[in-house]
A = this chain, B = another copy of it.
C-alpha cells in the first residue's frame, strides 16, 4: 500500500449522457477532470450515440417490462460506440489536456469480470452482473502506479471470450469499493442536477452534506423520495464498504472540487 499521501488519493468519476452528448460540456468536464490531483478513473456509457446508431442500422430497441434487452446486435453497437468511438475520443481529448488516459473495457487487463445475467422470467441478453470478486483492484492499481488514468466504458467480460453490457453506475461503485482497500477513495456521480436539493424546483437549495442520520431525517420529511432513493441507498452502501465519500453533483461544477465553492452533495459517514 502506498504511504505517500498524494499518491494515496483516488477519485472515481462517472459521467452520464448529458455530458457525453454535448461537446462543450464534455470539453469543460475533461478539463476539470484533468485538474484533479492524485489518481483518477473515469467511467462512461455512450449517451444518445448508441441509440442513434442502432436506429440508423435498423436495430430495434427491445424492452421487456421497461428494461432494455442487449441482443447480439445491440452488443455490437455498444462495443463500437462505448468501447470505440466515445472511449477513444475521450482518451484523445484527455491526452490533449495532459491526463495520461487509457480507454478500457472490463475485458482489458481482465480488470472487470462479470457474470451474464441468469435467464429467469426475462432474458436480458448479453448483460453482465457485477459480483464482489468482479474487480481486479490489484492490476488496476498497477496501471495507475505506472502513471496511467483508466477510462472505463460500461462493458465487462465473462472471462470466456464474451463481452457484456453493464450498468455504468454499478461499475463506478464496484471500482470505488474494490479500490478503497488500496486508496482513500471518493466516488463522484455527475448527473443533470447540482446535487440533492431541498426543493427539487430550486437549484439553489443544494444540500451540501448528508450523513446517515441526516439521510434518515430527509427520508422521513419526504425531501428525498422516488428516483433519488436508490441512488443514495447505493451511495451509502458504497460508503459502508470502505469508500470515504460519495459526491452527487453536476459535471459543470466538478472544477469546484477542493475549492470552497459548492460541488454537489457529499455523502459520508457521521463526522
Which of A84, A109, A160 has the most chain B CB atoms inside 10 A of its CB?
Answer: A84
The CA-CA distance from A84 to B81 in the complex, in Å, is 7
Neighbouring B residues of A155 by C-beta, 8 Å: 88
Q: Is the CB of A85 within 8 A of B84?
A: yes
A102 within 8 A of B: yes
Neighbouring B residues of A18 by C-beta, 8 Å: none
The CA-CA distance from A53 to B59 in the complex, in Å, is 13
A120 within 8 A of B: no
Interface SS of chain A: helix
Interface 0/1 of A139-150, CB less than 8 Å to B: 100110011100
A39 within 8 A of B: no
A87 within 8 A of B: yes
Q: Is the CB of A80 within 8 A of B91?
A: no
A34 within 8 A of B: no
**Contacting residues of chain A (91-110) with chain B, CB-CB under 8 angstroms:** 91-93, 95-96, 100-105, 107-110
The 6 closest A-B CB pairs, nearest first, are A84-B84, A80-B80, A96-B161, A92-B107, A83-B84, A80-B84
